[in-house]
Amino acid sequence: MIGGALLGAAQPTGAAGALVDVHQRLGYALLILLAAGVLLALLAVRDPRLLPTARAYLWLAFAAVGVQGVAGISLLLAGQRPAQGLHVMYGPLTLISLPLTVLFARGTAPRREAWTLTAGFVVALLLAFRAVSTG
C-alpha cells in the first residue's frame, strides 16, 4: 500500500482531509527531492566544486523534511493516524539522517565528503520511501 489509502476506509474531509492530501503529496515530492540529492552528491564526487551546492541542498532537504514532519504531527494532533504505526518512526529517522550526514562528512577530504553526502541522501531516500509506503 503506497500513499496511505486503505481500501474501504473513509477518508477525512475538510481541513483534516486537505492536510492529509498535502502530507501525502509532500511525501512524494520529498522522494524526488532526495533522489535529486543523490544525483547531485554523485556529481560532486566527480567535481568537488559542487560540494558547497550539495551541502546547501542537503539543508534544503532537511527543511523540507521538517515541514513534512510538522504536517505529520499536526495530523496526529488532529486525531489522524497513519495506516501503519511504523510510519511514525520513519519520519523522525529521515529527519535525523540528514544532519548526521553533515556530522560524518565534516573535516574529510572532498571526495570522501561527497561519498558521505551520497550515502546520507540514499539513507534519507530509503527512509522516506518507507514512510510513504507505510503512511
Where are the domains positioned within the chain? 16-134
Q: Residue 51 has what pLDDT?
A: 97
pLDDT in tens, 101-123: 999 999 999 999 999 999 999 99
Q: Which three cell numbers stand for residue 117?
A: 553526502
- CA angle at 82 for the pair 23 and 65, rounded to the nearest 5°: 40
Q: Residue 106 has what pLDDT?
A: 93
Q: What 3-state class would DSSP assign to 6?
A: coil
- Indicate the length of the chain as a whole number: 135
- Nearest of 41, 37, 57, 26 to residue 131 by alpha carbon: 26
Would the pLDDT of 1 be above 60?
A: no
Half-sphere exposure of 99 (CA within 13 A, CB side): 8
pLDDT in tens, 54-101: 999 999 999 999 999 999 999 989 888 888 888 889 989 999 999 999
What does the buried/exposed string (b/e) look like for 29-56 if buried means 16 or more CB atoms within 10 Å of the residue's CB?
A: ebeebbeebbebbbbbbeeeebbeebbe
Distance CA 106, CA 129 (A): 26
| Residue entry with cell 492530501 | 21
